[in-house]
Structure 1
Amino acid sequence: MKKIFAVLFVSLLILSCKQDQNGEAISYSITFDKDNIKVAKVKVEFTPKDSILFMDHGATNFDKGWATFIYNIKAVNDEGEPVELEEIPGAKWKINAPLHEKIVLTYDVHLDHEDYEWDGGIDGVAYTTDRGVFYTGRTLFIMNGEQRKNITVDFKLPPNWRVTTPWKNIKAVASSYLVRDNTDLANAMIFAGTHKEISLKRDDFEFVFALGTTEIINEEAIFQSLAEGVLDYYIELMGGIPRPSPDSPFKKMVVVISSHPSITDGEVIGNNISILIQKDADQFSKTISRFIFAHEFFHLWNGKSFRPDSENGEWFKEGLTNYYTLKALHHIGFLTDETYLDFLSNFFYKRYHDDNGLGRLAMANGEEKHEHWGLVYGGGMLAGIAQDMLIRDATNNAKSMDDLMRSLFNKYGNSNDDYTLEELKIMMSELSGIEQTEFFNSYVSGTEKIPIDSYLTLAGLDANIDNGNLIISKKEHQTQQQRKIMEGLFGQLKSER
């Protein structure tokens, strides 16, 4: 009798789990028509977890948010009977039906986003190209259930089309994917069309590039070489592939690169990158586009694998990422010694010097980083360079900022813990053997201007400030230590010495 009861209990438990899984599941089907590419038809099948349908936050310049671009929204129950949907503010709809009944929701997304101005640019929204369509997940998906996990997405594609997403592919079906949660759904970047896809794998990490226009596809070899060079430089520098927090795991990222008639810009959403490059761009625009790409790449380590515990560390996250981006681009030969120094002085120092927050705000005020890019991003970079020069000079180039980055990666990678501003100060003091409280009080938490020219002289450079401009050149005669420090400034690693 006890055995019969035990078997019955286990059977009921399994049945209950299956029912829970079925209740959790939600499936999306997205249909694209090459003859009408500005409309995506979406079908969603699910059992409601609550009575609210919603889209991700954003598009705040519209009263209806992302719902501005949603048309023909309808719902039926499992028996095909209409379900009433009541539109409510905030890109939401209320379901007027019992929660235990399965629902089939259908709607169209009109890709009219390019008809409007966007504060962050169209690169983080949705657009068409001569090769297909680009969507961010937040523009495409209506969701239900804040904590929903069991999500599948299937694409119905025209002949010869493919789709690039950051999700795990269901092997049996080429265009079907498993999505971890609503966050990964909304933060996705999706390109569907006749574009070119490049996949780079390092260990169990995959970087997927979607080249979204003919102009970019024609430069495929250039972008592949750039991506491989920057990626391998970062892996060697840090000592391994990214190790994100267990709360935000990812093994794949998507980088979408397309040309644009008039702008060069970039956007990051979640772990994915969108870059637009102006057609027939000049060399400066090309440099900016490569810089955006390499900058966001390094955030997989500095920002995703280890993070500041508050906004007072944003100067380090963004500024040091700028520094290592320049190093990476020099290392792969995209920047020469001269163009590196020119970019440092005529772009970064110029933005720092001209920021109207300089002298009245501290770069540790990370909440100001978007309004004061020059102070936080540029100033953070200069602070990182100053410390690197100081550490290298004090240790005969035996130690550097590279050691600090690797220490943070080893300590905080694959953990949910974060570093503090005080910890950065202590680590820099220990590396150089010189107490750095005054430096932090003056230039990081304080409002004094960093005398970057005096620090650059440690690398055998002639540097001076003239009428707000940083003038840099190599000294004709350098000591051996100065030459080694300069090589470190340009990105040479210990393994290359």
Structure 2
Amino acid sequence: MFKNKLGKLVSFAFFLLASIPLQAKEALKVVQLENVTINYHFMDEQSVKKENEINQLTNKAFLSYTKFFGGLPRDKKGVEYSEISIHVRQGKYLGGEADPKLIILSWNNGKTFGFSTWQRILLHELFHLWSAESFRYQDGREHWFNEGFSEFYTFKTAVELGLISSEEMLAVVSSVIGYYSTSSGLGKISMRRAGRTNKLKFENYFLVYGGGWVVAMVLDHDIRKRTNNNKSIDELMRWMYVNFHRDKKLYSLGDITQGLKYTTGIDYSNFMKSFVDGNKILPVSDYLSISDAQWALTFNQKSISNYKILFETLGIKRTL
């Protein structure tokens, strides 16, 4: 029963356009915003009322992601675009799907896993227009990167846009680390193998999604620390966008490792071999002091400068 419920809760990975039947109440609308043009398909009356919120968030996120990657998202032929379709419906479960030029969103006012709202799912799917659709993995073994890194940037963007507070962000990543650290497949199956098929991916959801998110945080923090905050995984993401057009070349773990070395000068091949391609458990506390940072932020402001790099990793802007 739990497995079936989990499959529905995380239906954004399978939530295909065909799963939304056309209804008599479907409303179509074209909205031209400053940074993006949206062709709406509202599947119910309640969704129509969400237009302004979706407009504002999509416009801000589209601009933010375009600046971040240094270019617009690309379609399957490698052509850049700034016009997308968004299919919106109110549903029992939160979910989403991204394809080139298309976002599908199932929303309600609840939360999934205690922290994920429809706004954050929309941010995730918009990020995928670049990270999953403009450049793309060879197979499911790289879902730890495809999904986990997208989650990392989704919540970092949410902080930067003021959707969640600094304290909430630290609480969220603590939950993610906890989900990863207590996932049943931890130490038994690698993140890569766990994402190889859809069945394995959902049986090991927190190892793949949460594990990939943790890897993103650890790498970003480690790179910033070792380069005096001059480099991060941001350079890797831009390198992937420039060098892996999905119509020409798909990426694998070796490409990610090569990209990290090229963009940062640091060799993470042993790290990847152990914690991503292998079954070793990532010792998160050796890299990230989340609980100490939360304590400092709440009760000991004088010491928050000790966590400057961590705050940069998480998108937290504070006077340090």
Which band: TM-score by shorter chain? 0.7 to 0.9
Provide the secondary structure at the position in 1 that maps to 2:163. coil
Whether the 8 Å CA contact 1:330–1:491 is kept in 2: the answer is: yes
Where do 1:447-458 residues align within 5 Å?
A: 447-457=279-289
Where do 1:104-119 residues align within 5 Å?
A: none
2:106 aligned residue (276, 280, 305)? 276
2:312 matched to which residue of 1?
487
1:360 matched to which residue of 2?
188
Whether the 8 Å CA contact 2:76–2:133 is kept in 1: the answer is: yes
Provide the secondary structure at the position in 1 that maps to 2:248. coil
2:68 matched to which residue of 1?
237
Whether the 8 Å CA contact 2:296–2:304 is kept in 1: the answer is: no
Whether the 8 Å CA contact 1:244–1:413 is kept in 2: the answer is: no
Provide the secondary structure at the position in 1 that maps to 2:40. strand
> Cα distance, 1:430 vs. partner?
4.1
- Partners in 2 of 1:411 and 1:491 — Cα distance? 30
Greater Rg over alpha carbons, structure: 1
Counterpart of 2:93 in structure 1: which amino acid?
A: T
2:138 matched to which residue of 1?
309
Deviates more, 1:381-390 or 1:291-300: 291-300
1:253 aligned residue (84, 101, 121)? 84
> Cα distance, 1:252 vs. partner?
4.6
The answer as to 2:210 corresponding to 1:378 is yes
Counterpart of 1:355 in structure 2: which amino acid?
A: S
- Partners in 2 of 1:472 and 1:361 — Cα distance? 34
Whether the 8 Å CA contact 1:397–1:481 is kept in 2: the answer is: no
Whether the 8 Å CA contact 1:387–1:428 is kept in 2: the answer is: no
Deviates more, 1:430-439 or 1:396-405: 430-439
- Partners in 1 of 2:26 and 2:234 — Cα distance? 41
2:54 aligned residue (216, 223, 244)? 223
Whether the 8 Å CA contact 1:277–1:285 is kept in 2: the answer is: no
- Partners in 1 of 2:268 and 2:262 — Cα distance? 9
Provide the secondary structure at the position in 2 that maps to 1:268. strand
> Cα distance, 1:417 vs. partner?
0.4
1:339 matched to which residue of 2?
168
> Cα distance, 1:361 vs. partner?
0.5
Structure with more of its chain in helix, by fraction: 2
Counterpart of 2:167 in structure 1: which amino acid?
A: E
Question: TM-score normalized by structure 2?
Answer: 0.79
> Cα distance, 1:362 vs. partner?
0.3
1:207 matched to which residue of 2?
38
Q: Extract unaligned runs of 5+ from structure 1.
A: 1-116, 125-134, 141-189, 465-470, 493-497
The answer as to 2:120 corresponding to 1:291 is yes
Where do 1:16-27 residues align within 5 Å?
A: none
- Partners in 2 of 1:490 and 1:300 — Cα distance? 21
Provide the secondary structure at the position in 2 that maps to 1:197. strand
> Cα distance, 1:300 vs. partner?
0.8
- Partners in 2 of 1:358 and 1:463 — Cα distance? 25
Whether the 8 Å CA contact 1:323–1:384 is kept in 2: the answer is: yes
Provide the secondary structure at the position in 2 that maps to 1:393. helix
| Distance verdict in 2 for CA 1:491–1:191, change over 3 Å | farther
Whether the 8 Å CA contact 1:196–1:211 is kept in 2: the answer is: yes
Q: Extract unaligned runs of 5+ from structure 2.
A: none
> Cα distance, 1:456 vs. partner?
2.1
| Distance verdict in 2 for CA 1:433–1:463, change over 3 Å | farther
1:400 matched to which residue of 2?
232
> Cα distance, 1:381 vs. partner?
0.7
- Partners in 1 of 2:105 and 2:85 — Cα distance? 11
> Cα distance, 1:282 vs. partner?
6.6
| Distance verdict in 2 for CA 1:248–1:137, change over 3 Å | farther
Pairwise CA RMSD of aligned residues?
3.5
Whether the 8 Å CA contact 2:28–2:39 is kept in 1: the answer is: no
Counterpart of 1:318 in structure 2: which amino acid?
A: E
- Partners in 1 of 2:253 and 2:238 — Cα distance? 17
- Partners in 2 of 1:221 and 1:390 — Cα distance? 39
Question: TM-score normalized by structure 1?
Answer: 0.53
> Cα distance, 1:352 vs. partner?
1.5
Q: Which of the pair has the greater relative contact order for Cα pairs under 8 Å at 6+ separation?
A: 2
Counterpart of 2:192 in structure 1: which amino acid?
A: A
